[in-house]
Structure 1
Amino acid sequence: MGGRPMFLDRKSLWPQLRRWEEQAADRDGPFRLRFGTFFVADADAARAVLVDSASNYLPQSGFYRLGPKPLPQAVRSEASRELLRALARHDLASSFDLGSALDEVSDGRGRLRHQRWGVEMVRRYFAPVIAHQRHTEINALVDAYVTSSVVADDIVGHVLRRSHRTVPAVRAGLAEQLGRLSAREGGAQDLVDLVLGLPGELSPGDRAQLLQRLVLSTVGFTGVTLEWVVMLGIRHGYDTPVVRQEQVHRLVREALRLYPTAWRLIRVAAADHEVAGARVHEGEHILIGTHAIHRSAAVWNRPLDFRPSRWEQPTDDQRRSYLPFGKGDGMCPANGFAVKALEHLGHLILRGHRGHVRLHTRKPHVRTLLAPPAGWTRLTPAATPEP
């Protein structure tokens, strides 16, 4: 198998995910899926793969990489530090206009289309960090990438065949623009500065690819989770002017537990070794089923129930089994700031609106990301309580 497992060629993987969860419940340790990949659904085995025995696997990064090859560890660490510095330069919470964003991402009838609106809103939320005060050409290319790749490919799937012609053109356009720029002194103001300032013999095309991956990290995973947070919040009565920040905090954590946007983590063995008693050979793939770990009845009481209250006093086993962003060197760089953005936006939306959700199916849509079912959400402004 290459960089992308063959099973992702299917339109939606939700039935497979549920079947793997059931198989994991009946197995003691890792097991092989029918296409040969090892499936890990235990938190301790997952930690062994991602952290304790990470040297047994090829270096991997979902975002700081060129093709299948990750950037050197020192470069990835510096990039993560620069990302945090760039975020610290902008007061996103106070500068974001929710009303304008909702008008822009809703249709003419005031509806928010699932598998799209969250990514479009988070793109606007993080706009100052993505391409701060850049000319319209770069921002238009970023918007085209979000529409033609993040939405059309990573969320919806290979439905819009045009996306495969658009994405290379977007990368070529970004490479052309980046080739004309140089990093600003004084540290990165945005993701454009970040990729321009990375050391090494990187071509403009390399830097364009890295920018695309960072946009996916920043808006793709966060945007899909925002849709889950708002949809679940509405269905469970959180759309009220008196909803508190700590309630939304637990709501976000439970949404990421029950429907982890990054539903699997994949590693490739660099040498023969064992994982939880199972023999793994060099070149074989390990698939860590985040969704299965998050839904294990051995760890979570009534695991398929949506219960944010479980996060009031989580157990040590539950903390160890909670992997929405992975662990170790390959951990998603959006980890900390994505959760803060979700809590802020979730609280703003649910506190200020009453919602109505309409679903075309009850099954989540699973591709690269685990997205809500097709349908839409309508928000109606609610009166804000007196301070």
Structure 2
Amino acid sequence: MKGEVWPDFQRDPLGFLDRRLSDGDGIVQTGQNEYCLGDADHARSVLRNADGSYLEHSDFFHTRHGYFEPRSAQLKMRREARALLRAFLDARAPGALRDFIRDRLASTSQWPDAGNWLAYRYLSPVLLAPDRPQSLRRLFEQLVERSVLANARARQPRWRRMLLQFNTTLQLSRAIAARQREARTPPADILDIVAGAAEPGQRLDELAEVFLSFLFAIAGSVGFVLAWSVYLWGTHPRRDAPAEWIVQEALRLWPVAWQLGRRPVQAHEISGVRVDVSDEVVVCPYLVQRNQAHWSSPAEFRPERWADPQAWRNPAFIPFGHGPHRCVAAELATQLVADMLESIRGLGDATVAVRGDRPTIAAAMAPPPFTLTFRASG
């Protein structure tokens, strides 16, 4: 396992992992000190970290300053954000989502960008209440355009990325400070929640990064899951599977959060490999969820496997992580994406024209670019 195999991973990450899957490896070396974990039981053990073998880490609460603490502030944000999202979704009038999709999705649309914009614009009142300053709303639109969309960062020169980062930190820090002076109870939006959960003396720029995790989760993660669901529905010969099954299978085949890195705090053995504090163990949902020990025909799109309501309990299904840092809004987000997909299917006969055959690989995994076209009736 210690051989120099990682250049192949750098050139074609998924192709490399697919080849190693066929060898039945439970762990794969992907860098000088990096190991990708595909064994379901070991992956869940690492993410639970019950024995403290790894540094405490949350992919959501990770900032440039390190791990956001205290844990009590994390839990408060998680609890209040989930309640806010549920209240928002429950308050929508019957047919509101269908009308939103019909009004916002053109007869010809370009994906995956369209999925990011639909998710962001539908949920934007959760991020920022309607009566908040328009300057923040314009900033969030810029962030989606320049930082969230697939390949967005690669299309921006470095100076422009740095300028946006500086402006974002400045505006969000000021907004959070203002919210702390004029707290709303209950919180009206995610910005209120982040500001209200802060401990005395907490850095404003660190809080700004935590808020951005919420924005990226909504516009990025939810948007890409929607895009994968539309992609698989549109390219599959049978399109009559329930939307919920399609979304679950999209999450299994193409997990948006496909790498979850953890640092050991002591030397130990995992899946037959000795790792120490200089290594990084990367739980790889892409590998775990294509493990043939847990799934039949794991590389095939088979939404019917979700006919069993207990299928989500498969130990090799971890698209939202596992353990104490699992996404708190996983079920709400999954149901929302299924409802959005159902609304899109209700627009009429559609065709999907795919450009390219490989996903866009970055921190989040996006589907290949494709065009969704609805045929005019009559």
Q: TM-score range by the shorter chain?
A: 0.7 to 0.9
2:93 is equivalent to residue 94 of structure 1: yes
Give the total of aligned pairs. 364
Quick one: distance in 1 between partners of 2:310 and 2:126? 36
CA gap of 1:335–1:97, structure 2 versus 1, over 3 A, is closer
Deviation at 1:304, TM superposition (A): 1.6
Instruction: Answer yes or no: is 1:77 the counterpart of 2:72.
Output: no
Query: 2:355 aligned to 357, 360, 365, which one?
Result: 360
One-letter code aligned to 1:266: G
Residues 25, 296 of structure 1: 8 Å contact kept: no
Aligned position for 2:257: 262
Q: 1:111 to 1:85 in 2, by over 3 A?
A: same
The answer as to whether partners of 1:89 and 1:189 remain within 8 angstroms in 2 is no
Q: Distance in 2 between matches of 1:282 and 1:181?
A: 40
Contact map agreement 2:294 2:314 (CA 8 A) in 1: no
- Post-superposition offset of 1:102: 5.6
Aligned pairs (5 A) from 1:228-243: 228-236=228-236
Contact 2:198–2:207 under 8 Å retained in 1: no
Q: Is the 8 A contact 2:97 2:340 kept in 1?
A: no
How far apart are residue 203 of structure 1 and its match?
Answer: 3.2
Q: Which amino acid aligns with 1:220?
A: G
2:318 is aligned to: 323
The percent identity for this pair of structures is: 23
8 Å CA contact 1:85–1:188 kept in 2: the answer is no
Q: Aligned partners of 1:141, 1:298: CA distance in 2, in Å?
A: 46
Structure 1 unpaired stretches of 5+? 1-6
1:44 positional shift: 0.5
Q: Which of 101, 115, 119 is equivalent to 2:116?
A: 119
Partners of 1:101 and 1:124 within 8 A in 2: no
User: In structure 1, what is the Cα distance between the partners aligned to 2:47 and 2:290?
Assistant: 19
Rate the CA distance shift 1:52–1:63 in 2: closer, same or farther, 3 A.
closer
Structure 2 residue matching 1:353: 3-state secondary structure: coil
What TM-score results when the alignment is normalised by the length of structure 1? 0.85
In 1, Cα distance between equivalents of 2:226 and 2:29: 33
Correspondence for 1:168? 166
After superposition, residues 139-158 of structure 1 pair within 5 angstroms as: 139-151=137-149, 155-158=151-154
Which moves more between the two structures, 26-35 or 340-349? Answer: 26-35
Distance 1:13 1:111 in 2: 35
Alpha-carbon contact 1:148-1:167 (below 8 Å) kept: no
The more displaced of 166-175 and 356-365 is 166-175
Q: 1:192 to 1:214 in 2, by over 3 A?
A: same
Corresponding position of 1:135: 133
Give the drift of 1:86: 1.2
TM-score by length of 2: 0.87
- 1:83 shift after superposition: 0.5
Mapped to 1, the partners of 2:370 and 2:204 lie a distance apart of 39
What are the within-5 Å matches in structure 2 for residues 202-213 of structure 1? 202-213=202-213
Residue 30 (structure 2) aligned to one of 29, 33, 48: 33
Say which SS state the counterpart of residue 320 (structure 1) adopts: coil
- AA in 1 matched with 2:136: I
Q: Which amino acid aligns with 1:165?
A: L
Q: For 1:345 and 1:116, how far apart are their aligned partners in 2?
A: 15
1:51 aligns with 2:75: no
SS of residue matched to 1:274: strand
Matched residue, 2:3: none
CA distance in structure 2 between the partners assigned to 1:230 and 1:81 by the alignment = 30
Q: Secondary structure at the match of 1:62?
A: coil
Structure 2 CA distance for aligned equivalents of residues 369 and 141 of structure 1: 21
**Secondary structure at the residue paired with 1:297?**
coil
2:341 matched residue in structure 1 = 346
CA 1:297 to 1:89, structure 2 compared with 1: closer, same or farther past 3 Å?
closer
Residue 159 (structure 1) aligns with = 155
CA displacement at 1:186 relative to structure 2: 2.5
Task: Structure 2 unaligned segments of length 5 or more: list them.
Answer: 1-5
Contact in 1 for aligned 2:359/2:368 (Cα 8 Å): yes
Aligned amino acid, residue 181 of structure 1? R
Instruction: From the superposition, tell whether residues 87 and 314 of structure 1 become closer, same or farther in structure 2 (CA, over 3 Å).
Output: closer
| Partners of 2:116 and 2:224 within 8 A in 1 | yes
1:150 and 1:47 mapped to 2: Cα distance? Answer: 28
1:286 aligned counterpart, secondary structure: strand
Q: Is the 8 A contact 2:231 2:352 kept in 1?
A: yes
Distance 1:92 1:18 in 2: 44
The amino acid across from 1:141 in the alignment is L
CA distance in 2, matches of 1:381, 1:186: 48
What's the Cα RMSD here?
A: 2.8
- Residue 232 (structure 2) pairs with residue 215 (structure 1): no
Paired residues for 1:242-253 under 5 Å: 247-253=242-248
Cα distance, 1:275–1:92 mapped onto 2, change above 3 Å:
farther
Query: Structure 1: how far apart are the matches of 2:331 and 2:303?
Result: 19
Q: Which residue of 2 aligns with 1:19?
A: 16
